[in-house]
């Protein structure tokens, strides 16, 4: 069973656990042209597939998805996730980053990812996070490098990047 987490506030943003009521928005964000091609499955998802994913997701204790919100207005900015959480190794994978088109290009998802890294350290006690990005996604790679990630490997058109987390986030 998944542990319940309170919303996590970092600066002007708030991360709150994904709720079933968020699914229409997250499906719309994920299915946009240019976005869905960055996921493992680039086909547009159907509603029943998205609901099926959510039903499986709520049973996974090591998979947390958050809605990034404005801490004051609670406007939905996007989605971030942390999964494959390995408490013994104190590391996890992050990803499933999707922005609302309304907030895209304002640097808010960069702040949302930084908030997720802070959550990983302060709440989960992790010391490193890693992610996968397509070699062709230069914009995302630049963002991750800006956030302190370094490339650790390449295979099949994907790059794995990792970042250590310490008290000086």
The pLDDT of residue 50 is 84
What tokens appear for 14 in the block?
């708030």
Handedness of CA 39, 149, 98, 54 (dihedral sign): positive
Q: pLDDT tens-digit profile of 23-81?
A: 999 888 887 776 655 666 777 778 998 899 899 999 999 999 999 999 999 999 999 99
Q: pLDDT tens-digit profile of 71-121?
A: 999 999 999 999 999 999 999 999 989 999 999 889 899 999 999 999 999
Cα 5 to chain centroid distance, Å, stands at 16
Residue appearing with tokens 């010391």: 127
- Of 132, 136, 158, 126, the closest CA to residue 144 belongs to 132
> Which residue ranges form the domains of the chain, and what is each CATH number?
8-164 (3.40.630.30)
The pLDDT of residue 10 is 96
The pLDDT of residue 45 is 73
Burial of 41 (0-12, 13-18, 19+ CB in 10 A): exposed
With bands split at pLDDT 50, 70 and 90, how would you rate the model's confidence at 168? low
What tokens appear for 54 in the block?
């959510």
Contact indicator for 2, 59 with CB cutoff of 8 Å: yes
The pLDDT of residue 19 is 95
161 or 42, higher pLDDT: 161
Using the predicted structure, report yes or no on whether residue 153 has a pLDDT greater than 70.
yes
The pLDDT of residue 169 is 58
């Amino acid at each position: 069973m998944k542990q319940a987490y309170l919303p996590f506030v970092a600066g002007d943003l708030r991360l709150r656990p994904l709720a079933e009521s968020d699914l229409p928005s997250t499906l719309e964000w994920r299915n946009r042209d240019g976005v869905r091609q960055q996921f493992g499955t680039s086909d547009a998802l159907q509603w029943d597939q998205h609901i099926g994913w959510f039903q499986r997701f709520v049973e996974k204790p090591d998979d947390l998805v958050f809605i990034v919100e404005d801490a004051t207005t609670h406007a939905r900015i996007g989605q971030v996730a942390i999964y494959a959480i390995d408490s013994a190794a104190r590391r996890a994978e992050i990803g499933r980053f999707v922005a609302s088109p309304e907030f895209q290009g304002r640097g808010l998802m960069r702040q949302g990812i930084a908030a997720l890294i802070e959550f990983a350290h302060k709440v989960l006690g992790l010391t490193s996070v890693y992610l996968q990005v397509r070699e062709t996604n230069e914009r995302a790679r630049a963002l991750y490098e800006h956030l302190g990630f370094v490339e650790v490997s390449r295979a099949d058109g994907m790059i794995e990047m990792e970042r250590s987390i310490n008290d000086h986030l």
